Amino acid sequence: MKTVIGALISASIFAYSLASGNSPSTNKIAKDGLPAPDLSANYTYEAHNLPDHYKTPELLDEFNEPKSNPLTNAGASLGRVLFYDKRLSINNTTSCASCHIQANNFSDPVRQSKGFNGRLTSLHSMSLTNIRYFKSGHGFWTERVDSLEKQALRPIIDQTEMGTQDIPELLKELENTGFYPELFERAFGTAEITPARIGFALTQFERSLVSSTSKFDKALQADKMEDVLTKEEILGYALFGGAPIQVLERNNLANLPSMGCNQCHQTAAMVLVGGKTNNGINGGYGQFKVPSLRNIEVSAPYMHDGRFPTLLRVIEHYMENIEDGPDTDNRLRINNDPTQQFERFRRSSEEQDAIIAFLKTLTDKEFLTDPKFSDPFNWPKADSK
């Protein structure tokens, strides 16, 4: 009797698996006894379908992919698994995604992130969105690492982030999972697992993180932006700077002085072309990389040290708290003139709200929930289909 029921159950599981398109032998535990990833879906990471506003000469020039590490679907798929795999930390508790969370724009909602041993990072976790559009390819707030490929290995041996993982030990650990050798073979032609290949795959996954399906993208693609953006959002765009002149004229905003945010948060990718600078914080000392403002609504707190909890605090900073120092950018001065004082952009609370409304048009729900960027160790629930 027992065996009949058993046979019925396994027959129905088999039928269910066929119906849902999954292989019947989906194993959630790997050979090493730790979680295995769900590899049943084949996702496309190569960015063939980016909208035209991402294909401008300026942005093509910022693209930091080296010839030695072109983005492929197999490479980024491997990178995704590594990115979410806690095996990369010394005590199997922390993955890259512990501090770079998809729903939070691949940043972390806390000011300082917790590492593998509960110790805190000194700076705020950086958003990884649109990281491919930083020509120098340098990594970290101070750009102290000279390539993203090298950068990707740093957290693994960082004493705060993931522990001083012994690399030969880690390579053995990955081999013993059973599933990694095949993923490396698909990505790089042979099953060999090397530190360089780990760095390459992680970086390919990072470079696939392009946000191009927000309300702002739809506005850039529309015949008339007003068909997509509200009056308040258009006002915010005018204040941010960089809105097309026809849009400004149609909305009687052509004479409104903008706050020139677009001088440093440039192009449709919302990145600083040409590297790092100081925006009048830290006493004007030090230059910092500027992560893309894409999805900025969900990556609070803001700045390298996470000093501002809200976008309103950020706007207030640019309105009245710019600090003068050796590194403060002259683009913050009146007419960008080094001999002039800083612009004191007094804006009504209505206008402050409008800039924030505009910044929120950069939120891209599709990107923030896209399964191809999600945790492969998080298996879909059997009853969710």
Residues that bind ligand HEC (CB under 6 A): 88, 94, 96, 98-100, 113, 115, 121, 123, 125-128, 131, 139-141, 148, 151-152, 155-156, 161-162, 202, 206, 259-261, 263-265, 277, 279, 281, 288-291, 293, 296, 299, 302-304, 314-315, 318, 329, 331-332, 355
Cβ neighbourhood burial of 39 (10 Å; 0-12, 13-18, 19+): middle
Closest to ligand HEC by CB, 172 or 385: 172
Closest to ligand HEC by CB, 22 or 64: 64
Closest to ligand HEC by CB, 31 or 331: 331
Find out whether 228 and 68 touch, Cβ atoms under 8 Å: no
Distance of closest approach, residue 264 Cβ to ligand HEC, in angstroms: 3
- Distance from C-alpha of 258 to C-alpha of 236, rounded to nearest angstrom: 9
Distance of closest approach, residue 299 Cβ to ligand HEC, in angstroms: 6
Closest to ligand HEC by CB, 251 or 292: 292
Closest to ligand HEC by CB, 78 or 131: 131
Distance of closest approach, residue 18 Cβ to ligand HEC, in angstroms: 36
Crossing angle (nearest 10°) for helices 195-207 and 73-84: 100
- Distance from C-alpha of 6 to C-alpha of 358, rounded to nearest angstrom: 58
Place of tokens 């004082």: 341
- Distance from C-alpha of 105 to C-alpha of 291, rounded to nearest angstrom: 11
N-terminal to C-terminal alpha carbon distance within the chain: 30
- Distance from C-alpha of 241 to C-alpha of 244, rounded to nearest angstrom: 9
Closest to ligand HEC by CB, 184 or 288: 288
Distance of closest approach, residue 23 Cβ to ligand HEC, in angstroms: 29
Distance of closest approach, residue 347 Cβ to ligand HEC, in angstroms: 9
C-alpha atoms less than 13 angstroms from C-alpha of 249 in its C-beta half-sphere: 3
Closest to ligand HEC by CB, 229 or 290: 290
Dihedral sign for Cα atoms in the order 292, 287, 148, 374: negative
Distance of closest approach, residue 39 Cβ to ligand HEC, in angstroms: 20
Distance of closest approach, residue 22 Cβ to ligand HEC, in angstroms: 28
- Distance from C-alpha of 73 to C-alpha of 88, rounded to nearest angstrom: 22
